[in-house]
């Protein structure tokens, strides 16, 4: 019932995972579309942040110059303004064209300009300052010592002035710094915006006329931002890239993300299917291991019981004749050999499972090794009425073999022939040359091996169907042929089974590489 429930759970789990993955994929795709909108919004926000950063940098540069001018323009020492400011003006205040100091009555007390030529523009600025700009400054609403800016067009020309009110000796004064817009546009703008591509940044006035930079193609990704403090009458425009190129990238990203979603769903389904298959395989191996333990327990119990029984009979003197006594001793010896072979199989299998099989290769006679291995089972074969025939081809070259492991492979094949091949009268063991290999063949006259079992029976814990169909069920560990295969591979050969076409039975074959052929390291 437990196995059935596990199998049913596996069958139900896979469709559930497939459906869940499909729902997850759809949700992910919908989320991808939403993320695309968020990504476009983030592009706009990043562009806006870039524009804000550039505008702040310009404001900061102008305000730094204003602070220098404010520190130098002291109403208490008006006569020293020219000497204090002009020598450092190109370095400290490069865009400030003139500094003006006025009193409460709007009387110009000091006017210092960097202009070297005619003062026509200075006179024009003086009149504009007194007649119009001071009114636009709203000085009555401004606290003392607070820096303010006025950016406005007068008579078709853009002006930027910075101004403060300052108290000195109980009187209020107005300090004005007039910035040269030509220097701002030609000197400051390129210095501040030079790291950006010319096609990405420009500055426009209130009427949309370009003051600095090339025209920008208007798109949803173009951001315009006023300068916050100083040139607030102008707008800074930033476009991260061409709208067509950005749209193409967005579409490519959407396609890529959709492919990634589908690929992820496929990987999830494949992974779950693989896990279920591995779990089913492990469940089957666990079941086979349980059967293996039961079979080995029975295999150990049978010879031990026989050894104990006949030993007790000999100990109690219940052997009526010397012939019987010898028969009992032969049975004890035979069962001891059978028990020893089984234990050797189990120990070797445990070492194979742990990956610790220290083979001791040395040059040896393959035919002699087969003869010695077969001799172990001669008494049992005679007792069961089976003739063991060994045929060794003459002139076989020596091979690098581990004789103990090699003999164990031969013993396992002979033991299978005696145990499973019901009705066998002759078991033939032959050794011959096949190319660069020595081939050992063990032929019986039993029911044979079903075609579908010929590969599987060499796997661990797997036993063929004929083991249960040949007369009566035959117990076995299910590891003998797996060991034969491993030993053959370790000796540079392989193992397989052949069906006899002319008569009943099977021929089990394993090969080892002869001297000079490569041996696979283990």
Average pLDDT of each block of 10 consecutive residues along the chain (522 residues)?
A: 55 66 68 66 71 87 93 89 91 94 92 85 92 90 90 92 91 94 91 63 88 78 85 86 59 72 76 78 71 63 79 82 82 77 70 68 92 85 86 91 89 85 81 93 85 82 60 60 88 88 79 66 40
Helices (H), 355-385: 366-375, 378-383
The whole-number pLDDT of residue 470 equals 47
Residue 461: which of 341, 282, 278 has the closest Cα? 282
Residues linked to residue 507 through DSSP beta bridges, in sequence order: 443, 498
For 269-341, where are the E strands, in sequence order?
none
Q: How many helices (H) and strands (E) does the chain have?
A: 14, 16
Phi, psi of 458 (to 5 degrees): -90, 0
Neighbours of 17 (CB within 10 A): 18
Angle at 410 between CA 408 and CA 414, to 5 degrees: 115
DSSP state of 105: T
Q: How many angstroms separate the CA atoms of 491 and 359, rounded? A: 9
Query: What are the φ/ψ torsions at residue 163 (nearest 5 degrees)?
Result: -145, 155
Q: How many CB atoms within 10 Å of residue 106?
A: 13
Strand order across the 387-392 sheet = 387-392, 426-434, 437-443, 506-513, 495-499
**For residue 298, what pLDDT is reported?**
59
Q: Do domains 1-241 and 355-513 have the same CATH topology?
A: no
The number of C-alpha atoms within 13 Å of 478 and in the hemisphere containing its C-beta is 23
DSSP string, 506-520: EEEEEEEE-TTS---
Containing 350, the helix (H) or strand (E) segment is helix 322-354
Contacts 24+ apart (CB under 8 A), 282-286: 283/3, 283/6, 285/460, 285/461
Question: Among candidates 455, 413, 418, which has minimal Cα distance to 430?
Answer: 413
Please identify which residue in the block is written with the tokens 């709208």: 243
Cβ atoms of residues 439 and 509 within 8 Å: yes
Asked if 175 and 101 touch (Cβ cutoff 8 Å), the reply is: yes
Cα gap 103→169, rounded to integer Å: 12
- C-alpha–C-alpha distance, residues 166 and 520, integer Å: 98
Length of the chain: 522
The phi, psi pair for 266, rounded to 5°, reads -65, -40
pLDDT the model gives residue 172: 92
Q: Report how far residue 329's alpha carbon sits from residue 319's, in angstroms, rounded to the nearest whole number.
A: 11
Domain boundaries defined on the chain: 1-241, 355-513
The neighbour count for residue 233, using CB atoms within 10 Å, is 16
Nearby residues of 411 by Cβ (< 8 Å), 6 or more positions away: 341, 373, 376, 377
What is the rounded CA–CA span in Å between residue 429 and residue 507?
9
Give SS3 for 439: strand
Taking the domain 355-513, which CATH number applies? 3.30.565.10
Q: Is 320 helix (H, G, I), strand (E, B) or coil?
A: coil
| Distance, first Cα to last Cα, the chain | 41
Q: Under CATH, to which class is 1-241 assigned?
A: alpha beta
Burial of residue 258 (CB within 10 Å: 0-12, 13-18, 19+) is: middle
Is 470:431 a contact under the CB 8 Å cutoff? no
What is the three-class DSSP state of 497?
strand
Select from 486, 489, 508 the least CA-distant residue to 497: 508
């Amino acid at each position: 019932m437990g196995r059935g429930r596990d199998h049913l759970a596996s069958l139900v789990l896979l469709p559930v995972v497939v459906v869940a993955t499909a729902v997850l994929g759809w949700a992910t795709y919908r989320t991808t579309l939403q993320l695309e909108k968020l990504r476009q919004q983030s592009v706009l926000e990043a562009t806006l942040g870039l524009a804000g950063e550039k505008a702040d940098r310009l404001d900061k540069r102008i305000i730094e110059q204003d602070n220098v001018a404010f520190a130098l323009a002291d109403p208490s020492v008006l006569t020293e303004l020219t000497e204090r400011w002009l020598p450092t003006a190109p370095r400290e205040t490069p865009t400030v064209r003139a500094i003006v100091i006025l009193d409460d009555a709007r009387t110009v007390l000091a006017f210092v300009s960097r202009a070297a030529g005619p003062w026509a523009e200075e006179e024009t600025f003086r009149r504009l300052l007194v007649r119009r700009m001071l009114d636009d400054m709203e000085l009555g609403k401004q606290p003392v010592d607070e820096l303010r800016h006025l950016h406005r067009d007068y008579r078709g020309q853009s002006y930027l002035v910075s101004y403060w009110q300052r108290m000195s000796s109980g009187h209020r004064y107005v300090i004005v710094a007039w910035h040269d817009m030509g220097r701002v546009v030609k000197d400051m703008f390129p210095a501040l915006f030079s790291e950006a591509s010319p096609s990405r940044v420009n500055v426009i006035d209130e009427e949309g006329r370009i003051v600095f930079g090339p025209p920008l193609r208007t798109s949803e990704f173009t951001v315009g931002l006023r300068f916050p403090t100083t040139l607030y009458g102008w707008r800074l425009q930033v476009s991260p890239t061409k709208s067509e190129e950005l749209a193409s990238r967005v579409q490519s990203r959407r396609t890529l993300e959709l492919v990634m979603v589908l690929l992820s769903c496929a990987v999830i389904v494949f992974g779950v299917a693989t896990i279920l298959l591995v779990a089913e395989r492990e469940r089957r191996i666990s079941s086979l291991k349980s059967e293996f333990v039961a079979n080995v327990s029975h295999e150990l119990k049978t010879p031990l019981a026989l050894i104990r029984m006949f030993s007790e009979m000999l100990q109690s003197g219940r052997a009526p004749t010397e012939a019987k006594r010898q028969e009992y001793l032969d049975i004890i010896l035979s069962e001891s050999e059978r028990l020893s072979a089984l234990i050797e199989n189990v120990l070797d299998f445990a070492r194979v499972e742990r990956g610790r099989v220290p083979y001791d290769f040395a040059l040896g006679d393959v035919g002699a090794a087969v003869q010695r291995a077969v001799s172990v089972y001669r008494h049992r074969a005679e007792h069961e009425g089976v003739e063991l025939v060994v045929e060794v081809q003459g002139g076989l070259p020596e091979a690098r073999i581990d004789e103990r492991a090699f003999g164990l492979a031969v013993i396992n094949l002979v033991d299978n022939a005696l145990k499973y091949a019901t009705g066998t009268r002759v078991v033939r063991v032959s050794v011959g040359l096949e190319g660069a290999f020595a081939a050992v063949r063990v032929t019986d006259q039993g029911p044979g091996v079903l075609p579908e079992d010929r590969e599987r029976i060499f796997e661990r814990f797997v036993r063929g169907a004929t083991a249960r169909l040949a007369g009566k069920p035959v117990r076995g560990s299910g590891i003998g042929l797996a060991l034969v295969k491993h030993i053959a591979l370790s000796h540079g050969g392989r193992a397989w089974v052949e069906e006899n076409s002319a008569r009943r039975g099977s021929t089990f074959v394993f090969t080892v590489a002869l001297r000079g052929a490569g041996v696979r390291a283990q």
